[in-house]
Amino acid sequence: MVTASVTVPSPTPIRSLPSRPRHKSSSIPHHHQPHCSNQKHGTLTLRREFLKGLALSPLILEVPHSQAREIEVGSVLPPSPSDPSFVIFKASAKDTPALRAGNVQPYQFILPPTWKQTRVANILSGNYCQPKCAEPWVEVKFENEKQGKVQVVASPLIRLTNKPNALIEDIGEPEKLIASLGPFVTGNTYDPDELLETSVETIGDQTYYKYVLETPFALTGTHNLAKATAKGNSVVLFVVSANDKQWQSSQKTLKAMLDSFQV
């Protein structure tokens, strides 16, 4: 039992009382001691013990992949088998909410080892709407201040066609697809005049639409490359962006990253 040290009121002047060591407890019976003082003291003691426990015990927090660590990818990703000057990112079910929900099939691409993975805001990640998102969302993002940035955007297939498990050819020509997804390339609006070039590529049994855009008013950058394909429930769009300075020095690297993207 914790007792409070209390001085007994006395008509005798305090100076005539013998001194009492502070560490000794009062001899006043417990039922005469102030209850509120003991209660407060006990609460403070419990609080101190709780905080002490937090300080002594390591706190282990689970951090979602959407809050990716901003470290150079070369320290965590393996070299690309085709070109060791790049590393390869292979997305799996642990990486994003859509991959865990099965709405997006695993994808991969190469990037320079000095790039960093950046966080995707929860509202953009699709985390809040899986497994039935009505609008496109951002899967992952990487960037390098001197070279540019890339992101993977996924769109529900139902937003583009009513045909289940449609191929990208079922959606329409490349120009039709980019007209729907262009704002997710630029970050704001899409003007057909910004489209410089389109091409079609086949890797295995998968068809890809490729785009070269010059976008002077885009939030993502004045130069954008994109590559899209449809698989399962989604259309997956890989976007490479750069400003004029980044494009001038790094366009070869950025094009290699675009070419490497596969689902």
Secondary structure element (H or E) that encloses residue 260, with its range: helix 244-260
Is the pLDDT at 210 greater than 50, yes or no? yes
Please enumerate in sequence order all residues whose Cβ is within 8 A of that of 156, keeping only pairs 6 or more positions apart, or say none.
103, 132, 133, 134, 135, 136, 233, 234
User: Residue 125 in contact with residue 138, Cβ under 8 Å?
Assistant: yes
- Would you state the structure tokens that stand for residue 248, as one six-digit string? 């001038």
Is the pLDDT at 2 greater than 60, yes or no? no
Q: What ranges make up the beta strands (E) of 30-147?
A: 87-90, 108-111, 116-118, 137-144
Domain boundaries, the chain: 73-260
Place of tokens 């085709």: 82
For residues 154 and 166, give the distance between their C-alpha atoms in angstroms, rounded to a whole number. Answer: 15
**What pLDDT is recorded for position 10?**
44
What residues pair up with 138 in beta bridges, in sequence order? 153
Q: Does domain 73-260 have CATH number 3.40.1000.10?
A: yes
Whether this prediction's pTM lies above 0.85 is answered by: no
Phi, psi at residue 223, to the nearest 5°?
A: -125, 130
- Name the pLDDT band for 128 (thresholds 50, 70, 90): confident
- Name the pLDDT band for 154 (thresholds 50, 70, 90): very high
Q: What is the mean pLDDT of the chain?
A: 82
Residue-wise pLDDT for 33-44, tens only, equals 444 445 545 544
Query: In angstroms, what CA-CA distances link 121 with 74, 141, 235?
Result: 23, 10, 21
For residues 5 and 228, give the distance between their C-alpha atoms in angstroms, rounded to a whole number. Answer: 77
Residue-wise pLDDT for 174-204, tens only, equals 999 999 999 999 999 999 999 999 999 999 9
**What pLDDT is recorded for position 159?**
93
Please enumerate in sequence order all residues whose Cβ is within 8 A of that of 43, keeping only pairs 6 or more positions apart, or say none.
none
**What pLDDT is recorded for position 70?**
78
Residue-wise pLDDT for 218-240, tens only, equals 999 999 999 999 999 999 999 99
**What pLDDT is recorded for position 126?**
86
